[in-house]
Amino acid sequence: MTKVAFIFPGQGSQTVGMGKELAATDGNSNLFLEQADSVLDFQLSELIMEGPQDELTLTYNAQPALLTVGSMISARLVEAGITPDYTAGHSLGEYTALVASGVLSFADGVSVVRKRGLYMNEAVPAGEGAMAAILGLDGDKLKAVTDSITAEGFAVQPANLNCPGQIVISGTKAGVEKACVQLKEAGAKRAIPLDVSGPFHSSLMKPAAEKLRAALDDVTMQEASIPVIANVNASAVTHSNDIKDLLVEQLYSPVLWEDSVRTLLELGVTHFIECGPGKVLSGLVKKIDRSATILPVYDEETLQTVIEASKEWS
């Protein structure tokens, strides 16, 4: 039996023009752009369609932009009769998953992630935090090194446990730089600094987490009609109060993406549909389990490919 998960990318996947073709060919898709502009009271749609890329990449713009395009794509899939059994998203993508699962309305979702981006930006001034991808090192060895550097007064910790052999670290600029050197000495194949605007999913985000809780208290959160796999514990959640607590914790806790995918596989998911620009999550799922069927949807052609393929599912 075919079981389907919709998965939603996080920051880093944004690109100028994402969703343009879908909005041009479908009036309902265009409504998402119009509603985002209305809720946020600025022309997010123009930024998505025309850029510039560096402005779109700013965390408080990238977050509502990705949620808008991901929601547009998942709605098109549902209109075509493809309903997920589970949803999941990477970091910011968890909010798009919550919209798809009926926990947040699209309007509340886009509003909350805009605030989330602003709070994250305020928590650590630009240039003081950093992130880096560490390739080819065991998680326990990595954590031992980052714990040691943090104990010396330079905060750094695992932030995204993405797939076997790929872990992203996050913390102060000095902490991440020290960790990159020591992790290579410990056997890492590569340490790649990331072009991000802050130390996401680290303890440095705790000031933003309290503000985020207040923002989440201001919106209505329903029980999930479709279970969502939470980043913080890689477990299926449906209760709105649990989801709210986990979203606050998510801001300063690691994204357990590999474990989340393994949870979906254990729950019987056979088909992963990535709803959003690029194929980042598709690549990670493939590294976690090569037998999974992975279908990225980011334009009209890939949408139609999935719709056609779904006719064969039972």
For 132, 169, 189, 236, 256, the CA distances from 192, given in Å and listed in that order, are: 5, 10, 10, 32, 20
Question: Contact, 228 vs 88, CB < 8 A?
Answer: yes
The class of domain 4-123+204-310 in CATH terms is: alpha beta
Q: Which residue has the tokens 């279970």?
A: 227
Q: Which of 9-18, 196-205, 242-251, 281-290 has the lowest mean pLDDT?
A: 196-205
**How would DSSP label each residue in 138-190?**
-HHHHHHHHHHHHHTT--EEEEEEEETTEEEEEEEHHHHHHHHHHHHHTT-SE
d(CA 42, CA 27): 20
Catalytic residue positions?
Answer: 91, 201
d(CA 125, CA 314): 51
In CATH terms, the fold of domain 129-196 is Alpha-Beta Plaits (3.30.70)
User: Does residue 314 have a pLDDT over 70?
Assistant: no
Residue 86 per-residue DSSP state: E
Tokens of 112: 């909350």
**Amino acid in the structure at residue 200:** F
Would you say the CATH fold of 129-196 matches that of 4-123+204-310?
no
List pLDDT tens digits, range 268-287: 999 999 999 999 999 999 99
Which of residues 11 and 261 earns the better pLDDT score? 261
List pLDDT tens digits, range 189-221: 999 998 777 899 999 999 999 999 999 999 999
The residue extents of the domains of the chain are 4-123+204-310, 129-196
Question: Contact, 196 vs 111, CB < 8 A?
Answer: no
d(CA 200, CA 70): 21
Residue 144 backbone phi and psi in degrees, to 5: -60, -40
List pLDDT tens digits, range 129-155: 999 999 999 999 999 999 999 999 999
Residue 205 per-residue DSSP state: G
For 11, 72, 96, 117, 168, the CA distances from 111, given in Å and listed in that order, are: 16, 16, 12, 10, 27
Percent above pLDDT 90 for the chain: 93
